[in-house]
Amino acid sequence: MTISRRHFLRTCGLVAIGFTGLHKLSCASAAGITTSALAANGYGALVTDPDGLLDLPPGFKYQIISRYGQMMDDGLRVPHLPDGMATFPGPDGLTILIRNHELRPDNPGPFGNKMELLDKVDMSRLYDRGLGKTPGHGGTTTVVYDTKEQKIVRQFLSLGGTQRNCAGGPTPWNTWITCEETVQRMDTRSSNQYFYEKDHGYNFEVPASAEMKLTQAIPLTDMGRFNHEAVAVDIDSGIVYQTEDRNDGLIYRFIPNKPGQLSAGGKLQALKVKDQPSLDTRNWKSRPAVPVGVKLAVEWIDVEDVTSPKDDLREQGYDNGAARFARGEGMWRGSDGIYFACTSGGNKKLGQIWRYVPSKGEGTASENAAPGTLELFVEPNNSNLVENADNLTVAPWGDLIVCEDRQGDVVRLVGVTPNGKLYTFAHSHNKTEFAGVTFSPDGSTMFVNIQGKGWTVAITGPWQARVG
């Protein structure tokens, strides 16, 4: 089954509406308007959860559909630390949910506490087998979900042997790109009781399939070896944009030799602001280097030695003129550009959201005459508005939904309306970040992970009732 262009645009293309509002909000905040004046009614005041887990608006309910440690349908365990997710239309109206797991070998993984379930796995399909003793615990699980019955049909390991699979992103050709947020080197010395047969720091592609099958893990090496976080695909050019979760990271693009066939290789490049080589976009100083709303012309520079064992792509790129960003994390393709969050950007290190608008000739010689543009869309420097935006998605009705990456007593899912007002959609009392927020293709169900608990939650309710 091939995902339709319409479905991909429906799930990705409305994000610009929410971000346009957020941009207005940022400007209003700078003008001195109070936080209360900027708050929207959203879905109303949250109702306190008697179980003390998740406060939601009136009429909404949640169900913990998957917990780490549960036995899956393939005889393996649900891995811990679920992270980025996306949904795809499945057969017979079912939803295919692909879920990353940000795990190291010492975290609870799919193979059991003492690796007693390894005999249930075709080890040849794992990326790093750990000498047959400590294979990588990261990877992806696939959840086949029935939104009509609100229950799991099956769940299974769909990629294994990788490490710290973080945000990732969907493609228009019905696959999920999962990203390793690590640059662990090959190490077979057992100095820490864990074995690594291969270098890590790569992307892998996972088909969106309801069939219970473990994908052959093939690293997409031409996309670079670095601390990957998220990706977004430009549906027009097939170019894949990538964030790097480092305080001095870069923004990359990958131009595939064959659009839609990432394993066929391609060219890796880094974003450079024209006439401002090695621009520091983090705005950590009192005077911002990049003001909100200014559009900057962009050029892209080639990255050499893309699989360097030194974890130095960002350093060589910056030395060659690429712009520097503060922990690039969530990324999404909107109808009017590529949006990405920098979790520790801004004067107070509370986060930024950027927009890159590709050139009409993106990836070709003609982009030199009409280059793409980079714009700092949001830098609120106000934790009452949003704090450390991380994963993000767009709701079927056009609002942006943002996961906060913080560890406080209350962590929020924040909504942003098309007219630029914020509302809190959920409070988690679990002292751990939300991750992987996404919606089912039919728009009925929001899925989100409560990462530190190892839970995947399905939320349903009167989505059409948003007010204000």
Percentage of the chain with pLDDT > 90?
Answer: 73
**How many helices (H) does the chain have, and how many strands (E)?**
4, 25
On the question of pLDDT at 194 being above 80, the answer is yes
Average pLDDT, the chain: 89
pLDDT at 196 over 70: yes
Residue 223 clears pLDDT 60, i.e. is over it:
yes
Which of 158-167, 281-290, 409-418 is predicted most confidently?
Answer: 158-167
| pLDDT tens digits, one per residue of 241-278 | 999 999 999 999 999 999 999 999 999 999 999 999 99
Tell me the three state secondary structure of residue 16.
helix
Measured distance CA(252)–CA(301) in Å, rounded:
9
Section 31-53 average pLDDT: 71
At position 109, the amino acid (one-letter code) is G
Measured in degrees and rounded to the nearest 5, phi and psi for residue 235 equal -65, -25
Mean pLDDT of 396-404: 85
CB atoms within 10 A of CB 452: 16
Alpha-carbon distance of 168 to 83, in angstroms, equals 9
Neighbours of 407 (CB within 10 A): 11
Extents of the domains making up the chain? 13-65+395-401+415-461, 69-226, 233-380
CA distance 165 to 245: 12
The CA distance from 339 to 390, in Å, is 12
Range of weakest confidence among 191-200, 233-242, 297-306, 358-367: 191-200
CA separation, residue 148 to residues 271, 402, 424, 429 (Å): 44, 26, 27, 28
Token code pair at residue 307: 């699989």
Over residues 19-38, the mean pLDDT reads: 40
Q: Are 25 and 416 in contact (CB under 8 A)?
A: yes
- Alpha-carbon distance of 351 to 379, in angstroms, equals 6
* DSSP per position, 133-196: TS---EEEEEEEEETTTTEEEEEEEEEEEE--B--BEE-TTSEEEEEB---PPPB-S-TTS--B
Weakest mean pLDDT among 89-98, 433-442, 459-468: 459-468
